[in-house]
Each structure stands twice: as structure tokens, then as C-alpha cells.
Amino acid sequence: MAERQTNHELYQRKIALRHAVIVASCAALLILSLIVSMNIGYIPLSPMDTLRTLMGDGTERETLILFQFRLPRILISVLVGAGLALSGCIVQGISRNALADPGLLGIHAGAGLMVILYVLFFGAQSFLSVLTLPFLALTGAGITAVMIYVLAFKPSDGVALLRLILTGLAVQAGISALTTVLVVKLDDTQFDFVALWQAGSIWGSNWKFILALLPWMLLLIPYVLMQSRVLDVLSFGDETAVSLGLGVEKERRRLLAAAVALAAVCVAVSGSIGFIGLIAPHLARRLVGPKHVILLPACGLIGAALLSAADTLARGIMQPAEIPAGIMAAMIGAPYFLYLLARTR
Amino acid sequence: MKQLQESVRPGPALHTQKKSRALAAWLIIILGPGLVAWLMALSITKGAADISLPLVWDALFRFDGGDIRHLIVADLRLPRVVASALAGAAFAVAGALMQGMTRNPLADSGLIGLNAGAGFALSLCFAFFPHLGYLKLILCSFLGAAFGGVLATGIASLGRSGALPMRLVLAGAAVSALLTALSQGVALYFNVAQNLMFWTLGGVAGSNWTQVSIMTPWIGAGLLGAVALSRFITLLSLGEEVAKGLGLNTVLVSILGSLLVLVLAGTAVSVLGAVSFVGLMVPHLARFLIGVDYRWIIPASAVLGAFLLVLADLGARTLTPPFEIPVGALISLIGVPFFLYLARRQRRAL
């Protein structure tokens, strides 16, 4: 009996160690991809040049390229990737369904409508206006989320997931139609901005936007990580959660609000990027299993790696044209979604 | 055969009514075209240049090549209106065929990847063969539409439960996302984004007689084929087993029906761009007015679809002068609430 106990403990420890190694290698992989992506772009820099410049010893031109263009963009893609991935992880955990993704639910479109309207009327030049963007995106996403929830709710069976996704799709179609109607009056540059936003090009790639995004991330990500136990209990199913003494509806609403907020502030600076929130949680679950205390960090790292890799690819392979990261994400993500759909019964 | 048909009660899935109302059908099919023609004439009079109804009449039947207003009617407005009507009828009938064959109330060419597939094919054409003729563009858009549709329906039918309505919509959405991303990528890389954007937004603005003359035989043949096939579509809509039991060659009918859907939707998409929801809404409206018999539903859908698109085109041109609203966006705004209502009524889950 005692022997079995120790065996069990050993096994637990082994698992924990394995997960730690996996997460650490995710982080290493992320850092590696960042180094690569610093070298890649319209003007290639060698790894040594990059390192020298980072240490503050580069030529003026190298410094400009790295600090004014490349670094902010990489950091934004890391932050946004992590944010979208965590948001997707929460939505999938709450709904206990593999197909859920804040982008599919039309959250992006709602946030985007507000952002597009604001940028068109006031521009995104001054620091103040950049700081207000996340608030606007939050408002738009919040309104959209409530609307979708109300429309998908039925007294007979609450919010059935599939109906939720269908409703999300429809609301998304409606919002993009509305956006189209609104952008009819635009001139060419404004029109290009809207097209780029919808394709998910990481447009807000300078330090201002990073500063606008950071406080939100520093607020939301720790909160989400603290809720990992609650997410675990929720993923057992409602009856179990209730019998364990959890206020299911209240917790679910809180977490959903956090997920929507995360997705909204991210797309405010990056444009509409789908599928990252769908794939990252899946990969993470495959690697470290369903426990949120380890799943969430792994998920955030993988999301960051995915998006920064997608952006690097977009900048690297398609010279001189730039393919928006959102398009790359959809090219990788949509087939995966279809594969999942074919597997579910 | 006829007695058999009437003794079989349709299933409750799609059809809430028990009887077909032939009178309503006759009214729509006989009076409808007249109404559509009147709306088309009205639509021609509206626009930047001031043109009256009698003038339209004169331009049509007593054409005077020296009169600039006659030229505006004949060369700019008329082809556009005719293209709208034809494409509307084509979208609606394609939707009716799909809904009847699959018994899926959410089937629509825009929702199952046909539009995105056609768009992808067109983006490739714009990028690699910028000087293709219109006929070849239509053929490419057929192929693309077929590719998108087969991909979405194929993936939705995998898995144990087969292609349930909601699964099909999800698969269609993902296939559309993928193909749209691909075409955007191609468009950006080869710098043809503007052409593609113009097309995607659903513009009949650039319709000319060449386009109309090429699309008319295709859509005409498609509509006639659909009417010829309509009896068997009714049988199919009773369910696979019932249709087989009545001695119907279901495979043959499905193949013919799918071909017709491709011809109709593919042509309409190549002319009008990515317009969704017409094929979703119109057949439902027709069923609501007429009942369950596709011999009536299909011609009535053609008339109602033409009416809807001519109306939408009129709205697109006159609501926000001097700007035009893209037709596709306008129809989506009407179509989305309708779709939501249908999705709420779905009882079966994944």
C-alpha cells in the first residue's frame, strides 16, 4: 500500500517535470523564433548585426530598423498571439467544445467596427487616440457578445453551443455588411486601412500601441491565470461544478467577460486575426493535458509563437509584398478547424 | 405516380404546411413577371440622370441613337437591371434546389463555400491571366464554385451524423475563410486586390450587354433544367428512403441537381460577385406562400429572386447618393436576421 502511494507520488512528480520541460521548450522555441524574425524582413540583418544592435552598438540605420520597425511589431505579435490564445482557451474551457473561438463568435467583427469607425473619423496618430482604441474595441466587442448571447439563448436549453456559433457567424456577416455600407464613402487610403484591418495585418506596430496594450494584458492575463482552478471545475460539467459548490453562471460570465476583453484589446491593435484562439489551446492540450494551471501558460506561449511565426513568414517569404498575418493564420487554421469538424459527431 | 405523391405526407423537418396552394403559385408565376418588369422599368428611371417612364418606353421600342438619354437607358441602366434580375432568379433557384435535395433549410450558395470558391478561382485568373475573356472567367468561376462546394459538403458529410444543417454551415464558414484568405493572399501578392475587391462587393455596376448575352443562355438553361427536374426534387425532399421507395433514381437526380446548382450559382456569382442569403431567403418565402411542391416553388423562387435583387440594386443606387452601396452588403443586412430566426428554429444539435 505504502509502496503504491510512493509510486503514485513519483508518477505525479514525473508528469509535473515533463510538463515543466514542455513549457520551457515552448518558451525556448518562442525565443528562437523571435531571434529569427528579427533578422528577417525587407532589409535582412545577420544574427550578429542584430545582437550588436540590441546591445546598443549598431549603425544608425540598423538601430532604426530594429527598434522602430521590427521590435515593436514582433512584440505586438507576441502579445496579441498570447492574448488570443488565452481567450480561445477560456471559451473552449467554458463551453467544453473544441470548435469555439472568439473570432468565430463574431467578437472580432464587433470590436473591429468600432475601431474602424474611430480611426476613420479621428485617425490613430496622437498618443491619446491610440490609448483610447482598446476601450473602444472593448465596447464594440462587449455589445456584440451580449447581442450574440441574447440571440442564441433559448429558455428550453439555454445557449446550445452550435446555435451560439451559428449566431456568431450571422452576427459577423451582419457587422461586416454594415462595415461595408459605412466604408462606401471612404477615399482610397481609408479603404485600404479597412481592408488591411479585416485581413489582420498587424497595423499598430509601434511603441505607442504596445504601451496601449500592455496595461490591459498585465491586468487580464494574471487574472485569467488565477482562475485556472475554476476553469478546471467548470470543464467537469455543470452538475459536478454545482455540487462542488461553484456558482456556475456567475463564474462563467466573469470568465467570458475576461475572454472577450482579451480578444477585443488584441484585435484593436492587430486587426482581425482568426483561428489562433482555436489552434493554440488544442496544441497545448495535446502537449500538457487538460489541467488549466499548466494549460493556460503553455497555451499563451504557443499562441505567441504561432502568431509571431505567422507574421515572420508573411514578412519573409513574400518579399516584396506583405501578406497580412491574419491571412497566414487562416490558411493554417481553417484546415485544422475542418479536420476537427470532420471528427466531431 | 401522382396519387402516390399526394398520399405521401411530407416530413415535418422542412415543411410546416400540409397542402400546396396552387392558386397562390399561379398568381406569383403569372403576375410576378409583370411586377418584376414594372420594377425594372422604375429602377431604370432612377439614377444620376433624370429619366421618365415614357422615355424608357421610347428607348426600348422607338430607339433614337441621337438621344443621349436613350443611350444611357440602353447601354448603362438596362443591362444592369437585366443582369440583376437574371442573377437574382439564378441564386434563388439554386438555393431552392439545394434546400430541396438536402432537406437542409440553411443551404445557400454563399453559406456553403460556392461564393468563396468562385472568388478564389477569379483571383487566380486576375493574377495569372489578366486578359481572359468573360466567358472563360465564367468557366473558371464554375470550377472554383464546384471546388468550394464539394469541399464544404464533403467535409460536413464526414463523421457519423452526416451533413446536418448546422455542420454544413460550419464547414462552409471554414472553407470560405480558407478560400477567402487564399484569394486575399493571391490578390495582395499579385497586386490585383482592387479588381477582386470590386468584384467581391457584389457589383452589377459594370454590367454590359456582352456580359448579359453570355450569362443569359447559361442561366436560362439552368432555370429550365430546374423546372424540368422540379417534380423529382419534390420527391427527394420527402426523404431519401421515400424517394427510393417510389422508384426514383436518387443518385441521378442528385447529380443533375448539383450540376444545375453549379451552373446557376457559378454564373450568378461571376456576374454579381459574392452575394449571400438570396438563395437562403427566397425559397423559404416561396414555401411559406405556396407550400411544399417544388413544381411551384422553383418557378416562384425565380420570380421572387429576380424581384428581390432588382429591388436591392435599386436601393443600392438610390439610398445614399452619390455613393453606391454594394448590393451584397445590402442583402446581407436583410438576410442576417432571417438566418438568425432559422437557426433558432433548428432543434437538432451537432
A291 CB neighbour count, 10 Å cutoff: 16
The model's pTM: 0.84
- Give B 290-329 residues with CB within 8 A of chain A: 320, 323-326, 328-329
User: What string of pLDDT tens digits covers the 350 residues of chain B?
Assistant: 443 343 344 444 444 444 567 788 888 888 999 999 999 988 888 876 778 888 888 888 888 777 888 888 878 788 889 999 999 999 999 999 999 998 888 888 888 888 889 889 988 998 898 888 878 888 888 899 889 989 998 888 886 666 677 788 888 889 998 998 898 888 878 877 777 766 666 555 567 788 888 889 999 999 999 999 999 999 999 888 888 899 888 889 988 999 999 889 888 888 887 788 999 999 999 998 888 899 999 999 999 999 999 999 899 888 877 777 888 888 999 999 999 888 888 664 43
**What does the angle CA A189 – CA A191 – CA A197 come to, to the nearest 5 degrees?**
105
Q: Give me the pLDDT at residue A295, please.
A: 93
User: B281, B9 in Cβ contact below 8 A?
Assistant: no
pLDDT for B11 equals: 43
Contact flag A167-B346 (C-beta cutoff 8 Å):
no
Whether B181 sits inside 8 A of A330 (CB atoms) is: yes
CA-based nearest residue in chain B for residue A99: B170
* Cα–Cα distance measured from residue A41 to residue A322, given in angstroms and rounded to the nearest whole number: 10
Residue B294 lies in a domain: yes
Residue of B nearest to A161 (CA): B349
- Dist CA B309 CA B93 (whole Å): 13
**B334's grid cell:** 436583410
- Rounded to 5 degrees, φ, ψ at B193 are -60, -40
pLDDT tens digit sequence for B172-181: 889 998 998 8
Which chain A residues touch B185 with a CB distance below 8 Å? 323, 327-328, 331
Cβ(B5)–Cβ(B235) below 8 Å:
yes
Q: Which helix (H) or strand (E) holds A299?
A: helix A292-316
Give the residue with greater pLDDT, A188 vs A311: A311
The CA-based angle B118-B123-B129, given to 5 degrees, is: 115
- Which of A180, A166, A268 lies closest to A216, judged by CA? A268
Q: For position B10, what pLDDT does the model report?
A: 43
CATH domain A1-344 topology: ABC transporter involved in vitamin B12 uptake, BtuC (1.10.3470)
How distant is the Cα of A29 from the closest Cα of chain B, in angstroms? 27
Kindly give, in sequence order, each residue whose CB lies less than 8 Å from that of residue B160, ignoring residues fewer than 6 positions away. Answer: A345
Nearest to B72 by CA among B84, B85, B58, B86: B58
pLDDT of residue A333 exceeding 50? yes
Say if B5 falls within a structural domain: no
Provide the pLDDT for residue A125.
67
Amino acid at B194: Q
B181 shares contact with chain A (CB less than 8 Å) = yes
Q: What is residue A322's DSSP assignment?
A: -
10 Å CB burial of residue B40 (0-12, 13-18, 19+) is buried
Per-position DSSP letters for A197-241, written without gaps between them: HHHT-----SHHHHHHHHHHHHHHHHHHHHTHHHHHHHTT-HHHH
- Residue B288 located in a structural domain: yes
Q: Where are the domains of chain A?
A: 1-344
Domain coverage including residue B204: 30-349
A174 and chain B in contact, CB less than 8 A: yes
Burial B297-311 (b: 16+ CB within 10 A, else e): bbbbbbbbbbbbbbb
Written as nine digits, the cell of A111 is 470590436
For residue A39, pLDDT beyond 50: yes
What pLDDT shows up at residue A115? Answer: 84
Is B11 inside any structural domain? no
Distance in angstroms (rounded) separating the CA atoms of residues B129 and B68 = 36
Verify whether the Cβ–Cβ distance A184 to B276 is below 8 Å.
no
CA distance A175 to chain B (A): 8
Helix (H, G, I), strand (E, B) or coil at B270: helix
Burial class (CB in 10 A: 0-12, 13-18, 19+), B171: buried
pLDDT digits (tens, 9 = 90+) for A265-321: 999 888 889 889 999 999 999 888 889 999 999 999 999 999 988 888 887 776 666
User: Among residues 197-256 of chain B, which lie with CB inside 8 Å of chain A?
Assistant: 197, 201
Task: Compute the C-alpha angle B111/B326/B210, nearest 5°.
Answer: 90
CB contact (8 A) between residue A321 and residue B193: no
Q: How far apart are CA B171 and CA A87, in angstroms?
A: 22
The CATH number given to whatever domain includes residue B149 is 1.10.3470.10
User: What was the pLDDT predicted at B4?
Assistant: 38
Interface contact A330, partner B, CB < 8 A:
yes
Chain mean pLDDT for chain A: 84
Is A155 an 8 Å CB contact of chain B?
Answer: no
B150 touches chain A (CB under 8 A): no
CA distances from residue A85 to A24, A76, A148, A300 in whole angstroms, order as listed: 18, 14, 21, 6
Task: Judge contact between B122 and B190, C-beta under 8 A.
Answer: no
> What single string gives the DSSP state of each residue in A49-66?
HHHHHHTT-S-HHHHIII
3-state secondary structure of A158: strand
Query: What pLDDT is stored for residue A289 in this prediction?
Result: 87
- Residue B184: C-alpha distances to residues A249, B193, B330 (Å): 41, 7, 22
CA B268 – CA A219 distance, rounded (Å): 50
A residues 184-213 near B, CB within 8 Å?
184-185, 195, 199
Is there a contact between A184 and B169 if contact means CB atoms under 8 Å apart?
Answer: no
pLDDT score, position B284: 92
> DSSP assignment, residue B130?
T
Q: Which residue has the cell 455540487?
A: A243
**Contacts for A272 with CB less than 8 Å, ≥ 6 apart:** A103, A108, A109, A112, A197, A198, A199, A200, A326
A164 CB burial (10 A radius; 0-12, 13-18, 19+): buried
Note the helical H segments in chain B.
2-7, 22-45, 53-61, 68-71, 78-102, 114-128, 134-157, 165-189, 193-200, 209-237, 240-245, 250-272, 278-290, 294-318, 327-345
Cβ burial, residue B33 (10 Å; 0-12/13-18/19+): middle
pLDDT for res B13: 46
pLDDT of residue B16: 46
B261 located within any domain: yes
Query: What is the amino acid identity at position B157?
Result: S
Going by C-beta distance under 8 Å and a sequence separation of 6 or more, which residues neighbour residue A110? A140, A141, A142, A143, A144, A145, A147, A171, A175, A264
